C-alpha cells in the first residue's frame, strides 16, 4: 500500500494522474518505492492483517510468475466521480511512435450545437445571446432544469459556477437530439480561471476564524492589545453570519474542477472531463485541448466557459460580467458519421471576413464567441483573435467558416416585386430557424396520471389570496376557506360592490384603480389561487361570449402575479387556478380553462414551474374541488411535471399530445363557387393562406383587416425601394416644419402605417392575379358593427359563406413583470372578441352554420415565455373549437397550433430568427405553410385541435408525445413487490440481495394491463422486451413500482398493449432523487392463434452424445444464486447443435406465475444462456428478448396436475461483451409447442 500525497501534497484534480505516474515509474524500475513520511502502522492498519504492508525501505518488485506485474490505484473525486485503474507492465515489442494525421478537411473542427446563458437587465437568465444584456445574474432565480436531480444538500452547497454549467450543458445536450447515442464518447472541457465564488466564501470563513484566534493569542501575551478583541469578534460574526455554513458537500461545491465533473455525472457522459486554467487565455487553451481529446478517439466535446463574479468583486463597466457559452465540437468526419449538422467550421488562420479582437477570458469573451458562431451559422465568416498567452505572448487565431449549405446574406426584393401573396421565399433571406425536421400534426388528450403522497392540511396556516370569478362565488368561498387555510387569507373579485368581511372588490376600470385596490390589501401572499366555475348548461352563443368577455378573474390573476413576480421567480409564491366544471362528460375541456392554463403555462416558462398550477375539475361541489386543489398543491409530483392537471371526478389527468395519423376524413371539398372569409389583414400569414385557397380551388376569398391600402400617400406607394429612406427623411422634415411640437414616435408610427399600406397594396395586387376572386375590406374584427357590415356584404353578394379562417391577432413579447393590463386586453380582444363577433354575425346574417378554421400557436400549448396573454387567448380558442365540435358530435370548428413562420407575419423580425436558432426551432416557409393549411381544408378535420410539432420542439421543451397508434391514454397502476406478493423473491438472489426475476416482472406487467381479461384470446406474444435495471428488495422490505399501460389496439380477436414498469429512487430523507426510472418495458399482444415453432428448433433432436451438466445459476455463492423452486431444470444435456432439459414445475401453479408462465420462461432463458463453450460456471442475466409466445393454458393449470414439460434450445453465441441466446421452446408430453422464445440477449455477471 502506498500514497503519493505524503510526498508532494494534495494536487487537487491532478491527484489521480500523480498516482498513475508513480506506479508507472515503479513498474519501469521494478521497485517498490519507500513511503514518504511513514514510520510505523497504526492500530487500524495492523488490524487489517498481514496482507497489507506499507514500505519503509525500497525493495525489488518480484516477478508475478507467468503474469506481468500489476498494480491498482483508486481516485476518489469530489462529487462522486470516482475511478479505479489497474495497470500492468508491458511485455510486448517496442511500439513505433504514433503518426498524427495532418490537418485534412475531415479532421477540421466543426461546431454542431451551441448554447449560451446570459443575464438581462433584470438579472434573469436568458438563453442564447440577448440583445439587452445585463451585468450579473439574479442568482436566486438561476434554478436547475427539472432533468437535473441532485441531493438537496448538494445543490444548496453547490457553487453558482457549477449550477450555471449544469443549466447550459443540459440545454446543449437537448439541442443535439438523440444524445443517448453520444454519451459514451462525449468529453467535457471547460476554461475556468481562478477560485470559484464558493471557494472564496470558504477562504473568507477560514481567514476570519484564523484572524480572531491569532488576535486572542496576542492579547493573552500582550494585555494592552485586548482592546481590539471586540472588533475581531464582530468581524468574525459578520463573516460567519453572511456566508453559507460549511457542510459535508462544501469542498466539492467550491472546487473549480468539479464543474465539468458535475456536468459529466448529470449527463452521464463517459469521456474525460477537466478544467483548463490558462489565465486570460483559458478559452483558447480549452479549445486546443478539445482538439487533443478528439484526436485521442472521442467523438464529441462540450467546450466553453462559465463565469460568475466572486464575493466582493467590484462591478465593472462592461456587460456582461457573468454568463456562459458552451459548444458541441467534433470533426468533419465524425459529424458526418454521427449525422450531426455543422453550424460552422473552426479553421486556424485568417481568411476573408470580419475580424474580432476578443477580450481576456470573461463573460464578454464568451458572449462574443457565441455571437460569432451564430453569425457563421447564418452565412457570415468571422476571424477571432483570442487574448495572448501569458508565457509566450502568442495569440490563437481561428476563423469561423459557414458550412457549404449555410444561407448567404442577399438583398430582399422590394414588396411590390413579389408576384403573389406568398411573401419573400426562404431563399431570399437568412434564417436562424431549422428547416430539416418533419412537421406533423398532434392532438391533445387527457392521460390518467396519479401523483405522489399528499400532505393533509397543506394550506393550513399559510397566507392565501383567493381570486373569485364573481361576488357570488366569493361569498361561497368565504364559507369554506376558513377551515381550509385558517384566518390568514383574503378573497378578491372584480367589481365595485364594496367590501364584505375578508372579501374585497377590485375596480378593474383602469390599471391604476386595480393597482390601488390590490395595494390596499396590505397582504403578502404565499399562495394565490384563482377560482372560477363554468356554467355547464350554457349554449354555444353563451360559451363563445363568456370566453370573449368574462376575464375579471384572469385579469386579477395577472395583476396579482405581476405584483409578486420577484418572489415568484425565487419560488417564494405558489400561483394557481381552479376551474370547476371545466372537464366535460367526454373529457372535453371548457374554453374558460384555456384562459388560465394558457397564461399559467407561459408564466411557468419564466419562473420555477413547480410553483405554478392550472387545475380543472368536472362538475362538483366547491368543497370537493378545493380539497382536490389542496391535494395537488401539496403532492410530490411523479413523472414529468405538468403545470396543467385535470380531474375527471377523482381521476387525475394530465394533458399530452398524441400524433395524428390521419388529419382529415372524406368530405365535399371547397370548389370554385365556395366563399371563404379570412381575418388578419392582407399581409403575412393570412395572405399566404388566401393565396393557397385561390391557387387550389379558384374560389371567392374575402380578406378583412384593419389597414387601409389607400392610407399611404402616392409618393410613398410608388417610390422605389432604394428611395424609401430618403422619402422617410423628407416626411419627418415636412411634418416637423408643419408642426414642431409633433413627437418623433408618433411620426414613426404614422410612417410605419404608410409602409404597411404599401406592402398591403402590393400583396393584394399579387393575389388579384391568381385564379378565383379576391376582395379586401378594411374592418376591425373587434368592432361588432364592422364585422356585421362585412358578413352582410358577403351574404348579399354571394348568398353563402362556406368557411371562416380567423387569423387576426396581436402579440407583444414581454416578461410578466413588464406587461401592462391594456396589452393583455388588446391581445385577448383581437382573438377572442373577434371570434365572438364573427360567430354572432354569421348566426344572424346567414341561413346555415359556417365552419370555422382558427389559427393559434403550438407554443401556446407548450407555454411560451414572454407571451402569457397570447398563450391565454390561443389556448381558449383551441378549447372553444373542441367544445363546439364536441357539442355537435362532429368537427365543425377546428384550430391549428402553428409553429413559427420564418420571416412572415408576427415572426418576421430578426429577434425571432435568433430565438429559433438558439432553440433549434422549426421555421415554416410560405410554400410549406400552404401545404400544411390545405391538409386540413381538403376534407373534414378529424381532430378539433391540431398542434404542429417536430422532434426539435419536442426535444427542446421536453414534451411527452404519444404515438399515433396509441388509441387510448396510458393508465398507471401501483404495484408493491415484496415476499408476500412474489413468494419466490427470497430464493432469487443477485449478489446476495433478493431480486425480482425478469419473467416475474413481465408477469406483473401483464397482470396490471390485462389480468384475466379477454379469456377467449388463448395466445400471448411479448415483443421488444427490455430489462434495464435490477429490481432489488432488501429482506423484509418493499419496492413500490407502477405499471404504465398504454392500449394500442383493441379489435375482435386481437388486443395489444404497451407496458412500462417504472419506479423512483428515494433518499432516506424522503427526497425523490430520480423519477420514472424504467425497469422493464414490453409490448403484449393477445390473439387466438397458437404458437408456431421454427424449422431449426423442430429439427433439433438428441443424439445421445451429450455433455450432462448442472445449472450454474443454482450454485451457492455465485453472482446469481437461485434456490428451491428455481432448481427445476433436470437432465440438462448440452450438444453442439442444441441443448435439452426436462422441467419440474411446482404443485401449486400460482407459484410459477399468474398471467405469464414465469418459471417456465425463466428456466428457458437460463437453458438458452448457460455453458456457452463447454461446461462453465459463468452465469448471464437477460437484458432483452425479441419475442416470447406462449399458450395461456400454461398459467391456468387446465384443472389438472402440473404439466410435465421439456425444453430444447439452439446454442448461444458470444458477440462482443454480450451473449446472443439461442431460440428455446417448451413442449408438453404430447409434443405440442406451448412456449417459444426468440432473440434473447444476456450480459455476463462477473
Q: Is residue 1022 part of a domain?
A: yes
Q: What is the pLDDT of residue 78?
A: 57
Q: Which of 697, 729, 764 is the last residue of a domain?
A: 764
Number of domains forming the structure of the chain: 7
951 vs 350 pLDDT, higher one: 951
Q: How confident is the model at residue 880 (pLDDT cuts 50, 70, 90)?
A: very high
Distance CA 1164, CA 1238 (A): 11
Q: Which of the residues are catalytic?
A: 988, 1162
Query: DSSP state, 642?
Result: -
Question: 579 vs 206, 617, 704, 1241, CA distance in Å?
Answer: 55, 6, 35, 50
The pLDDT of 347-361, averaged and rounded, is 68
**745-788: pLDDT as tens digits:** 888 888 888 888 888 888 898 899 999 999 999 999 999 999 99
Co-location of 1166 and 1192 in the same domain? yes
- Yes or no: say if 326 and 303 are a contact pair by the CB < 8 Å rule: yes
Secondary structure of residue 722 in the 3-state scheme: helix
Q: Is the peptide bond before 927 cis (omega within 30 degrees of 0)?
A: no
Question: 669 vs 221, 347, 355, 750, 800, CA distance in Å?
Answer: 102, 55, 57, 42, 15
Q: What is the pLDDT of residue 1084?
A: 93
**CA-based R_g, the chain, Å:** 35
Q: What is the pLDDT of residue 101?
A: 46
Q: Locate cell 402605417: which residue?
A: 753
How many Cβ atoms sit within 10 Å of the Cβ of residue 235? 14
Q: What is the pLDDT of residue 1051?
A: 65
Co-location of 495 and 603 in the same domain? yes
Nine-digit cell at 1189? 409466445
**Nearest in space to 767 (alpha carbons), one of 683, 706, 705, 680:** 683
Pairing of strands 1233-1245, 1218-1220: antiparallel
Distance CA 1183, CA 988 (A): 16
Co-location of 644 and 678 in the same domain? no
Q: How confident is the model at residue 411 (pLDDT cuts 50, 70, 90)?
A: very low
- Identify the weakest region by mean pLDDT among 230-244, 881-895, 1065-1079: 230-244
What CATH number is attached to the domain comprising 159? 3.40.47.10
DSSP readout, 538-550? --HHHHHHHHHH-
- Yes or no: say if 1110 and 1166 are a contact pair by the CB < 8 Å rule: no
Distance CA 632, CA 615 (A): 8
DSSP readout, 737-752? HH-TT--HHHHHHHHH
What CATH number is attached to the domain comprising 542? 3.40.50
Q: How confident is the model at residue 428 (pLDDT cuts 50, 70, 90)?
A: very low
Q: How confident is the model at residue 1218 (pLDDT cuts 50, 70, 90)?
A: confident
The pLDDT of 509-530, averaged and rounded, is 94
- Identify the weakest region by mean pLDDT among 345-354, 1221-1230, 1233-1242: 345-354
Q: Mean pLDDT of all residues in the chain? A: 85
Say which residues have a Cβ less than 8 Å from residue 300's Cβ, sequence separation at least 6: 112, 182, 185, 186, 187, 271, 328, 329, 330, 334, 338
Co-location of 593 and 542 in the same domain? yes
Q: Locate cell 463597466: which residue?
A: 317
Q: Is the pLDDT of residue 799 over 80?
A: yes
Co-location of 905 and 858 in the same domain? yes
The pLDDT of 670-690, averaged and rounded, is 91
Q: How confident is the model at residue 429 (pLDDT cuts 50, 70, 90)?
A: very low
- Yes or no: say if 461 and 473 are a contact pair by the CB < 8 Å rule: no
Q: What is the pLDDT of residue 412?
A: 27
Question: 341 vs 97, 109, 304, 899, CA distance in Å?
Answer: 34, 12, 19, 22
Distance CA 742, CA 747 (A): 7
How many Cβ atoms sit within 10 Å of the Cβ of residue 358? 21
Co-location of 221 and 268 in the same domain? no
Q: How confident is the model at residue 423 (pLDDT cuts 50, 70, 90)?
A: very low
Q: How confident is the model at residue 405 (pLDDT cuts 50, 70, 90)?
A: low
Q: Which of 385, 401, 417 is the last residue of a domain?
A: 401
Distance CA 999, CA 1167 (A): 14
Q: Is the pLDDT of residue 676 over 70?
A: yes
Co-location of 232 and 303 in the same domain? no
- Yes or no: say if 360 and 280 are a contact pair by the CB < 8 Å rule: yes
**Nearest in space to 208 (alpha carbons), one of 237, 228, 230, 229:** 237
Q: How confident is the model at residue 149 (pLDDT cuts 50, 70, 90)?
A: low
Q: Is residue 412 part of a domain?
A: no
- Identify the weakest region by mean pLDDT among 62-76, 548-562, 1063-1077: 1063-1077
Q: What is the pLDDT of residue 660?
A: 85
Nine-digit cell at 1091? 404458437
Co-location of 638 and 671 in the same domain? no
DSSP bridge pairs for 612: 575
Co-location of 877 and 993 in the same domain? no
DSSP readout, 690-717? HHHHHHHH--EEEEEES--TT-S-HHHH
Q: What is the pLDDT of residue 961?
A: 85
**808-824: pLDDT as tens digits:** 988 778 888 888 999 99
Nine-digit cell at 1090? 397458437
pTM: 0.51
Co-location of 1138 and 1030 in the same domain? yes
**Nearest in space to 949 (alpha carbons), one of 819, 1071, 859:** 859
Q: Which of 231, 254, 277 is the last residue of a domain?
A: 254
The pLDDT of 696-720, averaged and rounded, is 89
**Nearest in space to 76 (alpha carbons), one of 6, 25, 12, 33:** 12
Q: Is residue 150 part of a domain?
A: yes
Distance CA 349, CA 635 (A): 58
Q: Is residue 52 part of a domain?
A: yes
Co-location of 313 and 372 in the same domain? yes
Q: Is the pLDDT of residue 466 over 90?
A: yes
Distance CA 508, CA 700 (A): 43
E strand spans, 227-338? 273-276, 300-307, 323-331
DSSP readout, 806-853? E---------GGG--HHHHHHHHIIIIIHHHHHHHHHHHH-SS--EEE
Q: Is the pLDDT of residue 354 over 90?
A: no
Q: Is residue 421 part of a domain?
A: no
Q: Is residue 411 part of a domain?
A: no
**999-1032: pLDDT as tens digits:** 999 999 999 998 878 888 889 999 889 898 899 9
Question: 672 vs 426, 693, 802, 892, CA distance in Å?
Answer: 30, 10, 12, 21
Distance of CA 1159 to the CA centre of its chain: 40
- Report which listed range, 485-489, 1011-1015, 1086-1090, is most confident: 485-489
Q: What is the pLDDT of residue 10?
A: 76
- Identify the weakest region by mean pLDDT among 161-165, 198-202, 833-837, 841-845: 198-202
Co-location of 1108 and 1224 in the same domain? yes
**301-330: pLDDT as tens digits:** 999 999 988 766 666 666 788 999 999 999
Nine-digit cell at 1178? 459463468
Query: DSSP state, 1195?
Result: H
Q: What is the pLDDT of residue 918?
A: 65
The pLDDT of 38-59, averaged and rounded, is 80
Distance CA 637, CA 608 (A): 14
Q: Is residue 965 part of a domain?
A: no
**Nearest in space to 988 (alpha carbons), one of 1033, 1025, 1028:** 1033
Query: DSSP state, 809?
Result: -
The pLDDT of 950-968, averaged and rounded, is 76
Q: What is the pLDDT of residue 815?
A: 86
**531-546: pLDDT as tens digits:** 999 998 899 999 999 9
The maximal CA–CA distance of the chain, rounded, in angstroms, is 114
What CATH number is attached to the domain comprising 1111? 3.10.129.110
Pairing of strands 971-977, 489-494: unpaired
Distance CA 1021, CA 1229 (A): 22
Q: Is the pLDDT of residue 350 over 50?
A: no
Q: What is the pLDDT of residue 488?
A: 92
Distance CA 387, CA 408 (A): 29
DSSP alpha helix (H) spans, 92-176 = 152-156, 160-175
Q: Locate cell 510468475: which residue?
A: 65
- Yes or no: say if 620 and 580 are a contact pair by the CB < 8 Å rule: yes
Distance CA 1019, CA 1086 (A): 6
Domain coverage including residue 42: 5-88
Residue 874: in which H helix or E strand, if any?
helix 868-888
How many Cβ atoms sit within 10 Å of the Cβ of residue 1085? 18
Q: Is residue 113 part of a domain?
A: yes
What CATH number is attached to the domain comprising 896? 3.40.50.720
Q: What is the pLDDT of residue 244?
A: 56
Q: Is the pLDDT of residue 177 over 80?
A: no
Amino acid at each position: 500500500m502506498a500514497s503519493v500525497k505524503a510526498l508532494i501534497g494534495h494536487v487537487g484534480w491532478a491527484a489521480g494522474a500523480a498516482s498513475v505516474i508513480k506506479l508507472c515509474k515503479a513498474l519501469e524500475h521494478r521497485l517498490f518505492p519507500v513511503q514518504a513520511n511513514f514510520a510505523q502502522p497504526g492500530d487500524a492498519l495492523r488490524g487489517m492483517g498481514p496482507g497489507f504492508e506499507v514500505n519503509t525501505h525500497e525493495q525489488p518488485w518480484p516477478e508475478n510468475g507467468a503474469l506481468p506485474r500489476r498494480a491498482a490505484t483508486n481516485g476518489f473525486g469530489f462529487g462522486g466521480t470516482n475511478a479505479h485503474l489497474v495497470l500492468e507492465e508491458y511485455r510486448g515489442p517496442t511500439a513505433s511512435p504514433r503518426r498524427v494525421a495532418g490537418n485534412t478537411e475531415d479532421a477540421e473542427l466543426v461546431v454542431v450545437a451551441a448554447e449560451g446563458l446570459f443575464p438581462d437587465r433584470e438579472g434573469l437568465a436568458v438563453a442564447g445571446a440577448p440583445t439587452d444584456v445585463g451585468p450579473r445574474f439574479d442568482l436566486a432565480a438561476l434554478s436547475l432544469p427539472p432533468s437535473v436531480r441532485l441531493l438537496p444538500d448538494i445543490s444548496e452547497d453547490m457553487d453558482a459556477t457549477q449550477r450555471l454549467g449544469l443549466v447550459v450543458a443540459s440545454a446543449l445536450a437537448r439541442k443535439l437530439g438523440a444524445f443517448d447515442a453520444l454519451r459514451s464518447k462525449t468529453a467535457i472541457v471547460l476554461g475556468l480561471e481562478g477560485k470559484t465564488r464558493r471557494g472564496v466564501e470558504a477562504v473568507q470563513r477560514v481567514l476570519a476564524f484564523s484572524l480572531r484566534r491569532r488576535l486572542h493569542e496576542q492579547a493573552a501575551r500582550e494585555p494592552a492589545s485586548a482592546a481590539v478583541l471586540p472588533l475581531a469578534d464582530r468581524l468574525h460574526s459578520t463573516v460567519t453570519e453572511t456566508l453559507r455554513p460549511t457542510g459535508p458537500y462544501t469542498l466539492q461545491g467550491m472546487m473549480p474542477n468539479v464543474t465539468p465533473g458535475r456536468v459529466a455525472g448529470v449527463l452521464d457522459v463517459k469521456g474525460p472531463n477537466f478544467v483548463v486554467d490558462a489565465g486570460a487565455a483559458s478559452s483558447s487553451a480549452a479549445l486546443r485541448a478539445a482538439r487533443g481529446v478528439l484526436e485521442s478517439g472521442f467523438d464529441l466535446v462540450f467546450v466553453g466557459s462559465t463565469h460568475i463574479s466572486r464575493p466582493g468583486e467590484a462591478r465593472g463597466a462592461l456587460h456582461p460580467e457573468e454568463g456562459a457559452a458552451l459548444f458541441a465540437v467534433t470533426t468533419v468526419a465524425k459529424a458526418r458519421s454521427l449525422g450531426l449538422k455543422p453550424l460552422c467550421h473552426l479553421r486556424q488562420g485568417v481568411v476573408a471576413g470580419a475580424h474580432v479582437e476578443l477580450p481576456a477570458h470573461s463573460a464578454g469573451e464568451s458572449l462574443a464567441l457565441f455571437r460569432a458562431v451564430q453569425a457563421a451559422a447564418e452565412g457570415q465568416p468571422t476571424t477571432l483573435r483570442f487574448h495572448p498567452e501569458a508565457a509566450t505572448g502568442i495569440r490563437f487565431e481561428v476563423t469561423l467558416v459557414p458550412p457549404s449549405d449555410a444561407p448567404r446574406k442577399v438583398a430582399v426584393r422590394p414588396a411590390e416585386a413579389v408576384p403573389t401573396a406568398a411573401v419573400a421565399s426562404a431563399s431570399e433571406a437568412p434564417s436562424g430557424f431549422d428547416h430539416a425536421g418533419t412537421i406533423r400534426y398532434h392532438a391533445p388528450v387527457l392521460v390518467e396520471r396519479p401523483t405522489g403522497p399528499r400532505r393533509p392540511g397543506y394550506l393550513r396556516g399559510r397566507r392565501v389570496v383567493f381570486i373569485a370569478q364573481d361576488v357570488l362565488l366569493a361569498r361561497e368561498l368565504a364559507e369554506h376557506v376558513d377551515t381550509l387555510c385558517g384566518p390568514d387569507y383574503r378573497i378578491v373579485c372584480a367589481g365595485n360592490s364594496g367590501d364584505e368581511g375578508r372579501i374585497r372588490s377590485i375596480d378593474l376600470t383602469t390599471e391604476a384603480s386595480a393597482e390601488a385596490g390590490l395595494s390596499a390589501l396590505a397582504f403578502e401572499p404565499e399562495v394565490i389561487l384563482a377560482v372560477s366555475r363554468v356554467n355547464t348548461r350554457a349554449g354555444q352563443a353563451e360559451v363563445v361570449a363568456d370566453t370573449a368577455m368574462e376575464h375579471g378573474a384572469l385579469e386579477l390573476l395577472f395583476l396579482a402575479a405581476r405584483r409578486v413576480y420577484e418572489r415568484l421567480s425565487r419560488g417564494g409564491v405558489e400561483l394557481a387556478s381552479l376551474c370547476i366544471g371545466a372537464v366535460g362528460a367526454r373529457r372535453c375541456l371548457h374554453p374558460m380553462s384555456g384562459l388560465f392554463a394558457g397564461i399559467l403555462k407561459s408564466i411557468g416558462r419564466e419562473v420555477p414551474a413547480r410553483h405554478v398550477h392550472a387545475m380543472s375539475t368536472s362538475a362538483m361541489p366547491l368543497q370537493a374541488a378545493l380539497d382536490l386543489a389542496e391535494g395537488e398543491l401539496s403532492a410530490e409530483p411523479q413523472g414529468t411535471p405538468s403545470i396543467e392537471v385535470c380531474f375527471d371526478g377523482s381521476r387525475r389527468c394530465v394533458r399530452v399530445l398524441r400524433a395524428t395519423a390521419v388529419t382529415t376524413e372524406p368530405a365535399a371539398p371547397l370548389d370554385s363557387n365556395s366563399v371563404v372569409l379570412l381575418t388578419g389583414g392582407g399581409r403575412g400569414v393570412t395572405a399566404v393562406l388566401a393565396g393557397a385557397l385561390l391557387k387550389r380551388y379558384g374560389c371567392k376569398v374575402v380578406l378583412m383587416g384593419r389597414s387601409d391600402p389607400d392610407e399611404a400617400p402616392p409618393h410613398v406607394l410608388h417610390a422605389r425601394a432604394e428611395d424609401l429612406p430618403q422619402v422617410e427623411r423628407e416626411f419627418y422634415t415636412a411634418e416637423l416644419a408643419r408642426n414642431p411640437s409633433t413627437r418623433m414616435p408618433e411620426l414613426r408610427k404614422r410612417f410605419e402605417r404608410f409602409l404597411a399600406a404599401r406592402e398591403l397594396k402590393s400583396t393584394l395586387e399579387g393575389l388579384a392575379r391568381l385564379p378565383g376572386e379576391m376582395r379586401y375590406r378594411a374592418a376591425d374584427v373587434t368592432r361588432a358593427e364592422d364585422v356585421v357590415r362585412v358578413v352582410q356584404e358577403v351574404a348579399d353578394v354571394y348568398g353563402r359563406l362556406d368557411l371562416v379562417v380567423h387569423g387576426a391577432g396581436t402579440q407583444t413579447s414581454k416578461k410578466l413583470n413588464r406587461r401592462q393590463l391594456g396589452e393583455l386586453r388588446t391581445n385577448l380582444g383581437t382573438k377572442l372578441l373577434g371570434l365572438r363577433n364573427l360567430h354572432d354575425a354569421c348566426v344572424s346574417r346567414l341561413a346555415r352554420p359556417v365552419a370555422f378554421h382558427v389559427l393559434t400557436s403550438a407554443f401556446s400549448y407548450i407555454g411560451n415565455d414572454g407571451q402569457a396573454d397570447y398563450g391565454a387567448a390561443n389556448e381558449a380558442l383551441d378549447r372553444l373549437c373542441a367544445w363546439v365540435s364536441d357539442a355537435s358530435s362532429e368537427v365543425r370548428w377546428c384550430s391549428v397550433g402553428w409553429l413559427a413562420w420564418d420571416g412572415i407575419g408576427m415572426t418576421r423580425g430578426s429577434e425571432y430568427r435568433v430565438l429559433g436558432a438558439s432553440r433549434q426551432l422549426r421555421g415554416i416557409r410560405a410554400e410549406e405553410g400552404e401545404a400544411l393549411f390545405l391538409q386540413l381544408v381538403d376534407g373534414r378535420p378529424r381532430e378539433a385541435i391540431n398542434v404542429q410539432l417536430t422532434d426539435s420542439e419536442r426535444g427542446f421543451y421536453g414534451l411527452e408525445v404519444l404515438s399515433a397508434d396509441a388509441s387510448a391514454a396510458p393508465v398507471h397502476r401501483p404495484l408493491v413487490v415484496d415476499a408476500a406478493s412474489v413468494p419466490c423473491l427470497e430464493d432469487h438472489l443477485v449478489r446476495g440481495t433478493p431480486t425480482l426475476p425478469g419473467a416475474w416482472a413481465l408477469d406483473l406487467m401483464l397482470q396490471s394491463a390485462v389480468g384475466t381479461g379477454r379469456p377467449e384470446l388463448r395466445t400471448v406474444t411479448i415483443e421488444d422486451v427490455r430489462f434495464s435495471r435490477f429490481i432489488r428488495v432488501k429482506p423484509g422490505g418493499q419496492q413500490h413500482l407502477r405499471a404504465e399501460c398504454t392500449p394500442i389496439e383493441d379489435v375482435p380477436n386481437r388486443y395489444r398493449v404497451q407496458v412500462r414498469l417504472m419506479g423512483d429512487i428515494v433518499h432516506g430523507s424522503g427526497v425523490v432523487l430520480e423519477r420514472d426510472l424504467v425497469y422493464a418495458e414490453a409490448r403484449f399482444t393477445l390473439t387466438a392463434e397458437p404458437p408456431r415453432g421454427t424449422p431449426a428448433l423442430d429439427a433439433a433432436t438428441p443424439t445421445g452424445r451429450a455433455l450432462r451438466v448442472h445449472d450454474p445459476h443454482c450454485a451457492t455463492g455465485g453472482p446469481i444464486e437461485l434456490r428451491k423452486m428455481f432448481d427445476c431444470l433436470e437432465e440438462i444435456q448440452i450438444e453442439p447443435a442444441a441443448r435439452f432439459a426436462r422441467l419440474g414445475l411446482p404443485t401449486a401453479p400460482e407459484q410459477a406465475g399468474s398471467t405469464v408462465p414465469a418459471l417456465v420462461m425463466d428456466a428457458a432463458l437460463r437453458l438458452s444462456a448457460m455453458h456457452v463453450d463447454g461446461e462453465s460456471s459463468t452465469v448471464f442475466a437477460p437484458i432483452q428478448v425479441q419475442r416470447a409466445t406462449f399458450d395461456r393454458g400454461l398459467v391456468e393449470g387446465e384443472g389438472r396436475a402440473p404439466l410435465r414439460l421439456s425444453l430444447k434450445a439452439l446454442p448461444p453465441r458470444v458477440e462482443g461483451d454480450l451473449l446472443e441466446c439461442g431460440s428455446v421452446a417448451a413442449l408438453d408430453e404430447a409434443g405440442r409447442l406451448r412456449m417459444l422464445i426468440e432473440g434473447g440477449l444476456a450480459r455476463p455477471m462477473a
